[in-house]
Structure 1
């Protein structure tokens, strides 16, 4: 049978991974961008965030344990446990034992409360007070729902440790994953946007600029705005709307190799002033994510980075990724129910992605992986496929 996966993000790669070992499955993955990886890609603007893998990413870590990285080890084996530092008024930078400052015993309660109070009129409201270039206008409190905030709060108590890649996401995650799939005869094509799909008579016709192809099943893993556009163009009656979410700005900064901060034995995350700085010594760089900073222009952010990391030399290169468009970045969003996406049944069309109902509590790679496994499990059930990488996720 022929299966088309639309999108090469974590959900699409997971779906292909879960089905690629079945001898009767011929898989094709179409990616509309010129880079594979979806929101895990690395383009001219660098990384879209410091890529974290929480200690409860059970399904994704299992998959990464079966994919060989660039140095012969598995991608899972290449992950490094990240140390986390927070800044306190009393002691300066202090290493904390919890992933989140608010739950770290090393930070005095008085300072926790002070920080929460200071961020009460958060820069997430900056859209209402936008003063000009450089202000953080990408976040907005209206983009959070009660349920998304509740999921984030619950996750604070569950995920205490995080792991990161030693270097670029494309080199250590996406490229090895793509190579793994190609070795198993999966066809992956970038710069191939799917303009519409036509389910009819037990098959699906997929239209791209190269023409139309017939598939037995299609898995749509596009991010919500792209999925809405595809379903609309396909004239498929659906109940999906573009959910608001919080945008952010990320910087990928190559450092001078003489910097003392690069002498740390492993990756370190420094958080202060609404700016999170992940230092990757093996790669000689840091990835900076601005989520609560009052400004996000390069001049302001780099000055904060210089101060926080005590840099002694000029930086070598700076790449900026604004993540302003709906499809580029998300911190928290509302999930869709797979069984409520289509108003009319389309048995040959499946869905996966971090917006599907059985996702991880915070929009994440783990959520995308879970839904990719669930979509693959549904296809195996519907078409009688009994082999391949079995997923243990149910209910999508």
Structure 2
């Protein structure tokens, strides 16, 4: 019996054309939803259902499985329930036995893994059949009538203080969870006993109009950067980088003679240059890759390079003692399974946004940028903001 996440993301959107692929802080709305789900240890698999080829390609890039949605279930009149029921049929046809279904909407860009875990745990603890994310609501509602507007849930002659009122919650639209069998029978997301999980105001934000996207950019610039600074160790003396998938996009071009070329980011190079100039933080590349391109790139960046490593733990711990830099003062960026043994040993283990799923789950911080496309620059700027000098 599995708990799976299903993310419906159709191609058509009249309010914001191409909405599900719009980016906030370098990550598409779809990517943010997939990553939130993939980070949960309670969710066994993530599926994206869509009629749009670009969305399906983005879903696969982010590590989700894809379900092609029929056109009749992707128009303006089709319900989310119809898309979920179709996806469940497809998943079960593949031999998966479902226990719970987590329904996630891309329109909540700041939904966190912790919110999903909290909702699933609330459903279990309360013995509920379904659940939803909510946020506290303190407004006074009014409804039109023949005699002007009338209060909803309060009296005209009594205005109690916020702390004196019974709690009321607003549905966020971010996430819902349902027992699979109950949902198939009810064909609606709410049935039986309903659990709830209260999220903060940022997690509750929904993207419906172009103005919402502008506001979300402002929130991301403030909220997500601040979170990155907050997780940094009190002292950082070294930044260690894997090569493939961190300084590159993990792809290689191979010519007819077998020679390889990789894609790197000039922005990452600038970030390293600024970090070395504005801080005393040492930068090294530690890589399993033996290709000469690693040494060539490190020479260009003027950073220490150790490649061909089968055992990164042994090498880094030995270097740590030799350099007199405690492991607790090291930030390490890795993206794949061979990086995982080093993660619990350093002060902060970091992953690019497109890292392999077990790496995302184990990382102490996930960057908003993918490998080879600004991830290293993002980390460098966080380090500069916290530890850099005023001279620039």
Which structure's relative contact order is higher, taking Cα pairs within 8 Å and 6+ residues apart?
A: 1
Same fold (TM over 0.5): no
- Pick the TM interval, shorter chain: under 0.3
Q: Which has the higher helix share?
A: 2
